[in-house]
Amino acid sequence: MSERWSVIGAVGLVATAALPLLLKDAFLYHLGILICIQAILGVSLHLMLRIRQLSLAQAGFMGIGAYTSALLSRDLGFAFPVALLAAIIVPAVIAGLVGSIILRIKGVYFVLLTFALGESIRLVFVEWIVPFGGNNGLTSIPGIAVFGLALKARSAVYIAALVALGGSLLAAYLLLSRDQGRVLSGIAHNEMLLQSLGTDVTAYRRVTFAVSAAIAGFAGSLYAHYLGYISPPAFNVTASVGALVFNVVGGAGFLLGPVAGALLLVPLPELFRDAAIYQSLFYGVALLLLMLFLPRGLIGLLVGRKP
């Protein structure tokens, strides 16, 4: 039953992913790339949700990745791969350091702390005009290049974004499976028991937080180099809430949940430009309805009743 559905799901995903390549439409490519980037942000939050800690700092980490990568390549002349690597490492290190303190706090207080952290990160981008450019942000960020070859064609960037999404999913999967996955699921369900059996729960949380920030930073780098322009509002708490909505809509219990959520929700404001101002309202209502009627999300609906 679940095996058949995973085959159908995989075929559906591949078909959806291939759609822009078949239709060769510039707007579809653009949408596809944005979906991949937002889905990666969704995957980064997904890791935190798996240890039952809602972080609203994810978009902030994405911003750190975006600005790190943009400044390194544009102002300091580093090659894209180096900038990308830095965009992964810097947010991970920051999350690891901050995590040592804030990960001891749980529940709604952790949410509030990460809310404050996310806003602080955004304010740094706004207030420190040198080097972050303030409200105007940064422009003329060089494009994505692989082995010194600039990806000019949208199709090539799209394929790169798909590969990046695949890589992020793989990284998340590795963290959530096998031995470490058992530990993380134990932390989510019965932290006290694991501690009594000798598990350093805070250290495992810190690793998860760092990996999730790394993935968010990765998304940020792709975002910066794809659009060529970044500004602080893209990394505000609303963007983190967006990542939460992807997870809830798609199914927070499944690794592919945030991907399904992003696939459904990212095109909406792009398709209905005028409705963009109602996005927060829409997210709020969608979140309420889903929690009431579809607590396991779209993938939960596909997979069936069994938890």
Partner 1 sequence: MTASFLELQNVSKRFGGIRAVHDVSLTIPKGEITSLIGPNGAGKTTLFNLIAGQIRPSAGTIRFEGDRIDRRSLDAIARRGIMRSFQNTMILPGLTVQEHIETAALLATIGRPIDLLWRRNITRAKLAAVDTTETVLDFTGLASQRGTVAETLSYGLQKILGIGMAMAAKPRLLLSDEPAAGLNGAETERMEELLRAVHASGVSIILVEHDLRLVMRLSRHVVVLGQGELLLEGTPDQVRHDPRFIDIYLGGEADAA
For partner 1, the closer of residues 22 and 192 by Cβ is 192
| Shortest distance (Å) from residue 250 CB to partner 1 | 22
| Shortest distance (Å) from residue 190 CB to partner 1 | 5
288 vs 125: CA distance, rounded Å: 32
DSSP for residue 230: B
| Shortest distance (Å) from residue 211 CB to partner 1 | 10
Binding site for partner 1 (CB under 8 A): 179-180, 182-183, 185-186, 189-190, 192-201, 203-204, 206-207, 307
For partner 1, the closer of residues 127 and 200 by Cβ is 200
Beta strands in the chain (DSSP E): 145-146, 149-150
| Shortest distance (Å) from residue 187 CB to partner 1 | 10
For partner 1, the closer of residues 130 and 192 by Cβ is 192
46 vs 40: CA distance, rounded Å: 10
Do 275 and 269 contact (CB within 8 A), yes or no?
yes
For partner 1, the closer of residues 24 and 178 by Cβ is 178
C-alpha neighbours within 13 Å on the C-beta side of residue 162: 19
User: 3-class DSSP state for residue 138?
Assistant: strand
| Shortest distance (Å) from residue 307 CB to partner 1 | 7
User: 146 to each of 70, 156, 213, how far by Cα in Å?
Assistant: 16, 10, 23
Partners of residue 149 on adjacent β-strands: 146
For partner 1, the closer of residues 66 and 176 by Cβ is 176
For partner 1, the closer of residues 89 and 124 by Cβ is 89
139 vs 206: CA distance, rounded Å: 34
User: Tokens 């607590």 correspond to what residue?
Assistant: 295
Do 211 and 175 contact (CB within 8 A), yes or no?
yes
| Shortest distance (Å) from residue 243 CB to partner 1 | 24
Element (H, E) at 291: helix 279-293
